[in-house]
Amino acid sequence: MIKHIVLWKLKDEANGRSKLDNALQLKNELESLNGKIPGMILLEVGITMAGDDSGADDADVILYSEFENTEALENYYPHPEHVKIKPFVQSIRTERRVIDYQV
């Protein structure tokens, strides 16, 4: 199994919306991928509980996902449902950190 974790720091405002509104939209859009990506076992998204009190080193949103194998993860990146979300993510984020590891 492969675990894929992404952390994002979001802009305070983007697309005329607040950080929290964008975080909630990101959560909804990403979680809508459940059941649509072959080989994806699980995908969940969390929003920091710190809210507006988050510090410079804090992430605002985390994606935690599990894939059957490396091939499934590699097929996730170009999947059309995943690709549709990317422009929105790029418009609201200031930082992104990713780790993939095998268990």
Which two structure tokens, joined as six digits, stand for 20?
A: 């929290």
Spatial separation of the C-alpha atoms in residues 53 and 34, rounded to whole Å: 30
Tell me the C-alpha to C-alpha distance, in Å, between residue 85 and each of 3, 9, 67, 98: 20, 16, 19, 17
Q: Does residue 3 carry a pLDDT above 90?
A: yes
Domains within the chain, CATH numbers bracketed? 2-102 (3.30.70.100)
Token pair listed for 50 = 């710190």
CB-based contacts of 102, cutoff 8 Å, min separation 6: 1, 2, 3, 70
Q: Of 102, 11, 25, 13, which Cα lies nearest the Cα of 60?
A: 11
pLDDT in tens, 15-70: 999 999 999 999 999 999 999 999 999 999 999 987 666 667 899 999 999 999 99
Q: How many residues does the chain have?
A: 103
Q: Is the pTM of this model over 0.85?
A: yes
